A and B are shown apart, each in its own frame.
Chain A
Amino acid sequence: MILTVPITGEFISPTSGNVKNPIRPISFHKLLPEGMDNFAWKALEWDFAKDLVTLEVTFSPSGKAIAFDAEGNPTAWRMETTEEFEARKAASEKAILLALKDKKVDEIYAKTGEAKLIKPR
Chain B
Amino acid sequence: MTRINFHPVAAPLRTLSPANDTVQAGRYQATTLSAVDTDLAAANIKDGITLFGVEGSYSQVAAEDSLADERSAHESNTSGTRYHFNQAIEPDADFDIASVDDTFDNALVVGVAIAHAFCNGTDECLKLQLIMDGVTVAESPFIDNMQLWMVMGTKALDGLKTCICRCHNYGVGAENLNVLGRSSGAAFIAAGIAVGGIKVS
Q: Which residues of A are at the interface with B, using a C-beta cutoff of 8 A?
A: 9, 11-12, 15-19, 22-25, 27, 29-30, 38-43, 46, 59-60, 62-65, 72-74, 77, 79
Contact residues in A for B165 (Cβ distance below 8 Å): none
What is the interface of chain B, defined by CB distance below 8 A to chain A?
A: 118, 120, 122, 124, 131, 133-142, 144-147, 151-153, 156, 158, 161-162, 164, 170, 178
> Main secondary structure on chain B at its contact with chain A?
strand
**Residue on B with the closest CB to A21?**
B134
CB distance from A56 to the nearest CB of B (A): 9
Complex alpha-carbon distance, A23 and B147, angstroms: 27
Chain A residue at smallest Cβ distance from B128: A40
In the complex, the answer to whether A43 meets B137 with C-beta atoms within 8 Å is yes
Verify B120–A73 contact, CB threshold 8 A. yes
A79 to B141, CA, bound (A): 14
- Can you name the residue of chain B whose Cβ is closest to the Cβ of A10? B134
- The answer, among A11, A16, A42, for a CB contact under 8 Å with B151, is A42
Contact sample, A vs B, 15 pairs, CB 8 Å cutoff = A11-B134, A29-B170, A38-B144, A40-B151, A41-B138, A42-B137, A42-B138, A46-B135, A62-B144, A63-B145, A63-B146, A74-B118, A77-B144, A77-B146, A79-B145
Question: Nearest Cβ distance between residue B7 and chain A, in whole angstroms?
Answer: 62
Query: Given A41-B139, A43-B153, A23 and B145 touching (CB < 8 A)?
Result: no
A39→B157 CA distance, assembly (Å): 27
Which among B124, B138, B139, B170 has the highest number of chain A CB atoms within 10 Å? Answer: B139
Q: Contact: B135 with A24, CB < 8 Å?
A: yes
CB neighbours of B124 from chain A (8 A):
38, 62
Chain B residues with CB under 8 Å of A79's CB are: 145
